Structure 1
Amino acid sequence: MITATGLELRAGTRILLADTTLRVQAGDRIGLVGRNGAGKTTTMRVLSGDGAPYAGAVTSSGPVGYLPQDPREGDLEMSARDRVLSARGLDVLHAELAKVHIQMAELTGKALDDVTAKYGRLEERFSALGGYAAEAEAARICSNLGLPERVLVQPMKTLSGGQRRRVELARILFAAATDDGSSGAAGVGATQLLLDEPTNHLDADSITWLRDFLKSFQGGLVIISHDVELLEAVVNKVWFLDAVRGELDVYNMGWKRYLDARATDEQRRRRERANAEKKASALISQAAKLGAKATKAAAAHQMVRRAEQMLSSLDEVRVADKVAKIRFPAPAACGRTPLTAANLSKSYGSLEIFTGVDLAIDRGSRVVVLGLNGAGKTTLLKLLGGIERADTGGVEAGHGLKLGYFAQEHDTIDPDATVWENIRHAAPDTGAQELRNLLGTFLFTGEQLDQPAGTLSGGEKTRLALAGLVSSAANVLLLDEPTNNLDPASREQVLDALRRYAGAVVLVTHDPGAVTALQPERVILLPDGTEDHWSADYLDLVELA
């Protein structure tokens, strides 16, 4: 069980939650929802113990598996398999067994007897922690999350951002799996799962498998997700974090009933406020009449106080959530072909990502990059954007090229710098007031400008990165999963901006809606680098890529 008492959360001086009590018990599958910036990620971080509340206390009676939006990746030199096995402490034993097994093949006599005995002791410890059955279970979880054997043997540092995030998710689910391979609280590891946008970077089959895993999980679960189908299938409770009131409403029901109940609550609040305002107005009007007479002044004063009390006790009426107004400006003038690349190849150690990729990005062209996870889509964008260098070949800037790069892991944002410092770095030649106005359209105002970017939610980081792109007047945009972490309304704004943008776009995404909005002309298939005209037949590959 996770228990939070007297919980107060803040972002700067803005109160996200005040004097709140929360409990996560075995069997609870809670959907934590609210608009971007309401404090969902902050709440999750504090419940996990990864962050400290402004006030109050959080206690947990069992281990917690926490998947943040920007996962901690551990030792990047270790293999992906060992990273997953480390959830149960099996990674060290696994490596030691492999080392001793090699020694056994090289020794004879008493030395061999000693090493064989050591191997037996290690195997006993390995078996006590689940042993080879647990290792097989880890492999099954990884496979279901799109992490095949060829990925598991690679060092973490060679994996794409999406692959590393799936390794972290596999690690957490492996910790939560029971000894018989199902999901539940009786296993070796976590009895509570806190998952922040777990479907990011997952294909459709993996999302379906994850949905079934979480439905059968017997421990406590809190999940933040914009995947409505996942919420409908999994959650049996909803926590709605209301950014207007700074309160968390608890609904002990499934997703569809919650939507109806919340709509009813909003109608009730509006009705109560309208009635109270009507009564308060009548009291103030009556007080004004009585106040003209000295003998009635005390009564008039009481009426005014009563009207003020009635209004102050009311909940704030929920207004429509603000949405960032995303519009890419007219791109800077450029030549016919502002960006070309020839014979690009990239390897990490002995692992070849792709080789011999050629492409030319013409002015205003629209290109989608497709390929299975790990095929090098993110790597290709980094090479085009000058973030990494190719092993062979090169990228050539055409006349007037002005690049804008959106990184799926928000690599372009300095987490230690403030929101204001980040936008100033992105647009050093733009006037201060113009930048303030721009940030305002992306819903960053007041004290938020002084907030460290590392404390922003995933959706807020996406908005800040997009604000930097807008300020650049780029004529070629390199977009890597630009709709991740966005609520539905903000996602639609991004898609509408893509439709209207007149410059060239190279897009990597798992979001079919983003591809449809882009209306691409060409597709590049990795790792072969094959180029083809876009057709609707490729749309089915987007979610699988």
Structure 2
Amino acid sequence: MITATGLQLRAGSRILLDDTTLRIQPGDRIGLVGRNGAGKTTTLKVLAGEGEPYAGDVTVGGEVGYLPQDPREGDLSVLAKNRVLSARGLDRILRDMEKAQTAMAELVDDGERDKAVRKYGRLEERFSSLGGYAAESEAARICANLGLEERILDQPLQTLSGGQRRRVELARILFAASESGAGGKSGTMLLLDEPTNHLDADSISWLRGFLKAHEGGLVVISHDVDLLDEVVNKVWFLDATRGELDAYNMNWKRYQEARATDEKRRRRERANAEKKASALQQQAAKLGAKATKAVAAKNMARRADEMLSNLDEERQSDKVAKIKFPAPASCGKTPLTAEGLSKSYGSLEIFTGVDLAIDRGSKVVVLGLNGAGKTTLLRLLGGMEKPDTGSMIPGHGMRIGYYAQEHETLDHDSSVWDNIRHLAPDTGAQELRTLLGSFLFSGEQLDQPAGTLSGGEKTRLALAGLVSSAANVLLLDEPTNNLDPASREQVLDALRSYTGAVVLVTHDPGAVEALEPERVILLPDGTEDHWSADYLELVQLA
């Protein structure tokens, strides 16, 4: 169980939650929802013990599996499969068993060899008590269902993309949560922040089934409405306007109906109270003109003020960023060409011999299974990494704008303001303030470190940097991840109207339809083809 009492959360001076009590029990499957920036990620981080509340206490009983939006840094030299197995301590035991096996084979002294045999026996007994080879098979099954092939699992984490590392971490958490039997952890509390990011359609479908069957508590932040509809049995709505959390002990469909009813009631109650307060104020103004009625007038005015102050703050329509890419800088007919690109990480070959030419204003989608190198190709084109062989050839006037799905273009230790100044050094201060305002950043939030922003806010900040760049070639890696539906539509509208060249990597079919691509590049072979609707069903599978 996780219990929070007297909880207050803040972002700068803005109160996200105030004097709130929360409780997560086994069997609870809670969807934590609210607009971007309402404090969902902050709330989950504090419940996981990864962040400190401004006030209040959080008590955690039992195991917690926390999946943040951004991959955690740690020992990146560890093999991916060992990271998954570490959830139950199996990685250390297997490593020690291998050492004991080697000792048994190599030691000449009978006494020392006997000691190694006894040690191996103890380790094997411990290994069996934790599930043994059946547990290894279970881990492999979970990984396979999350699109982690064996060739990926045999690689160090440092060679994997951010999305692959995040899937490894999700596999590790689910492997721990699926443990049963003696010493099992079926009651593990899962706190998952956008768990479907970087997953293909089959993996998302499997994950829904896993979470629905999970016996422990669950709190999930997700923009995947199908996941919320199928999995959750409670909904917590984080209201950014009131700084309060409304709990609904019902499934997603009933929550949506109840939420609409609550909003209508609030508006009706406010309208009635404002009408009564207005009448009191008018009566107080009339009586105030008479000296003998001055005390009564003051009482009426005070009563009207109290009536208004006790009302919930009027709920404003959720704002959305005004995203529009400006006219691209002029450039030659083919601003970007790549020849013979190859890339490997250790023994893992990503792709080899990829050629492409990005013409002015062309629209290209990159498709391939997870791990085929889509993100890697964009990083090479954007100059974030160097190819093992081949080269990028810039054309006349080329100006690249790169959106990274893991927000690597942002300096997480610097403020929102410092980030936009770095991304657009030639733009005036007032123009940048206006730009940030259109992306919903203003006031004290400009001084907030980028690393403390939610995933959706980081996306908006990175997109603001793109807008200020006047790029004529946009490299977009999953630009609709972490966005609420309204903000996603703004991004899609911006894609539809942009006249420069775009190279897009996405699992979002809506983003591809908005782009109206002319060509598709299929990885890892680098095959190029004219776009057709037949490829659309591959987008979610890729």
TM-score, normalised by the number of residues in structure 2: 0.98
* AA matched with 1:519: E
Give the Å deviation of 1:289: 1.4
- CA distance in 1 between partners of 2:368 and 2:173 (Å): 26
Quote the residue 2:413 is aligned against.
Answer: 416
- CA distance in 1 between partners of 2:59 and 2:18 (Å): 18
Q: Which runs of 5+ in 2 are unaligned?
A: none
* AA matched with 1:340: T
**Does 1:326 pair with 2:323?**
yes
* AA matched with 2:80: A
Quote the residue 1:34 is aligned against.
Answer: 34
Correspondence for 2:479 among 479, 482, 492? 482
Quote the residue 1:135 is aligned against.
Answer: 136
Quote the residue 1:14 is aligned against.
Answer: 14
CA shift digits 1:331-386 (9 cap, x unpaired): 00000000000000011112111100000000000111111111111111111011
Quote the residue 1:236 is aligned against.
Answer: 233
* AA matched with 2:11: A
**Counterpart mapping for 1:113-124 below 5 A:** 113-124=114-125
**Counterpart mapping for 1:124-523 below 5 A:** 124-179=125-180, 187-188=184-185, 191-523=188-520
Give the Å deviation of 1:178: 2.9
- CA distance in 1 between partners of 2:106 and 2:347 (Å): 27
Give the Å deviation of 1:317: 2.1
CA contact (8 A) 1:418 1:452 kept: yes
* AA matched with 2:245: L
* AA matched with 2:130: L
CA shift digits 1:36-87 (9 cap, x unpaired): 0000000000000000000001011111110000121432111111000111
CA contact (8 A) 2:519 2:528 kept: yes
RMSD: 1.4
* AA matched with 1:94: L
Q: Which runs of 5+ in 1 are unaligned?
A: none
- SS class of match (2:468): helix
Give the Å deviation of 1:107: 5.0
CA contact (8 A) 2:223 2:482 kept: yes
Give the Å deviation of 1:99: 3.5
CA shift digits 1:443-472 (9 cap, x unpaired): 000000000000000000000000000000
CA contact (8 A) 1:276 1:310 kept: yes
Give the Å deviation of 1:100: 3.4
CA shift digits 1:168-203 (9 cap, x unpaired): 0000011111337xxxx9834762010000000111
**Does 1:530 pair with 2:527?**
yes
Give the Å deviation of 1:108: 5.5
CA shift digits 1:380-413 (9 cap, x unpaired): 1111011100010100110000000000100000
- CA distance in 2 between partners of 1:262 and 1:410 (Å): 33
- SS class of match (1:472): coil
CA contact (8 A) 2:235 2:250 kept: yes
Report % sequence identity. Answer: 78
CA shift digits 1:228-280 (9 cap, x unpaired): 01001111111000000000001111111111111111000100011011111
- CA distance in 2 between partners of 1:147 and 1:113 (Å): 40
Give the Å deviation of 1:103: 4.5
Give the Å deviation of 1:136: 1.2
Give the Å deviation of 1:102: 4.2
CA shift digits 1:150-179 (9 cap, x unpaired): 211111111122111100000001111133
- CA distance in 2 between partners of 1:434 and 1:498 (Å): 22
CA contact (8 A) 1:368 1:523 kept: yes
- CA distance in 2 between partners of 1:104 and 1:78 (Å): 26
CA contact (8 A) 2:188 2:217 kept: yes
- CA distance in 2 between partners of 1:387 and 1:100 (Å): 44
Change (3 A) 1:366 1:105: farther
CA shift digits 1:462-506 (9 cap, x unpaired): 000000000000000000110000000000000110010000000
* AA matched with 1:59: T
- CA distance in 2 between partners of 1:341 and 1:101 (Å): 50
CA contact (8 A) 2:9 2:55 kept: yes
- SS class of match (2:541): coil
* AA matched with 1:295: T
- CA distance in 2 between partners of 1:186 and 1:198 (Å): 26
CA contact (8 A) 1:86 1:92 kept: yes
* AA matched with 2:85: L
